[in-house]
């Protein structure tokens, strides 16, 4: 499933991600500045997150509350060793039924035991991006 979008129809992209993803684990790949956090902010809006959504680059994990659930948002960019991830309790989050959204998931992707939805964001030019959604 592929979709091209800019900031004017990013809500469409977000709805498509929610509709197409079969897993509660959403992985977001794309180069620095591709728009992972920007799309995730929209996604959280659509999920009914009440809290402010920020990039978890420094704190690694953000937790947001919706009316009926909790959303975990992580950024593994700074992780160098898989052991650091285990210390974060990531495995517990993954095993839960909550939505788990991960930027820079490459370091864990081969070791995931769960099904996941993998969203890749590519630059098309200027403000245009393309998402590709795959269920694994």
User: What is the binding site for Mg ion (CB under 5 A)?
Assistant: 36-37, 55, 103
Q: Does 37 participate in binding ligand ATP (rule CB under 6 A)?
A: yes
H or E stretch including 41?
helix 36-47
Q: Say if CB 39 and CB 10 are below 8 A apart.
A: yes
Q: Min. distance of Cβ 74 from Mg ion in angstroms? A: 11
Residue 70 interaction partner, one of Mg ion, ligand ATP, none, beta carbon < 5-8 Å per kind: none
Choose the one of Mg ion, ligand ATP, none that binds residue 76, judging by a C-beta under 5 to 8 angstroms depending on kind.
none
The binder of 21, among ligand ATP, Mg ion, none, by C-beta within 5 to 8 A per type, is none
**Footprint on residues 11-30 left by ligand ATP (CB under 6 A):** 30
Residue 68 Ramachandran class (φ > 0 left, ψ -120 to 50 alpha, else beta)? alpha
How many angstroms separate the CA atoms of 75 and 16, rounded?
A: 22
* Contact flag: residue 105 with ligand ATP (CB under 6 A): no
The most distant pair of C-alpha atoms in the chain lies apart, rounded to whole Å, by 40
Q: Over the Cα atoms of the chain, what is R_g?
A: 14
Given CA atoms 59, 86, 81, 110 in this order, what sign does their dihedral have?
A: negative
127 binds, among ligand ATP, Mg ion, none (CB under 5 to 8 A by kind): ligand ATP
Looking only at the bridges linking them, the beta strands covering 128-135 and 117-125 are antiparallel
Nearer to ligand ATP, 97 or 125 (CB): 125
Contacts with ligand ATP by CB under 6 A lie at 5-7, 10, 30, 32-39, 55, 103, 127, 129
């Amino acid at each position: 499933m592929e979709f091209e979008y800019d900031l004017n129809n990013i809500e469409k992209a977000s709805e498509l991600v929610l509709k197409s993803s079969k897993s509660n684990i959403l992985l977001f790949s794309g180069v620095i500045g591709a728009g992972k956090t920007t799309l995730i902010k929209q996604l959280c809006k659509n999920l009914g997150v009440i809290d402010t959504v920020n990039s978890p680059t420094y704190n690694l994990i953000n937790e947001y509350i919706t009316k009926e659930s909790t959303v975990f948002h992580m950024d593994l960019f700074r992780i160098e060793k898989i052991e650091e991830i285990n210390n974060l309790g990531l495995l517990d989050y993954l095993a839960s039924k909550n939505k788990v959204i991960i930027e820079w998931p490459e370091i864990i992707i081969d070791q995931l035991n769960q099904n996941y939805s993998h969203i890749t964001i590519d630059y098309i030019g200027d403000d245009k991006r393309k998402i590709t959604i795959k269920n694994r």
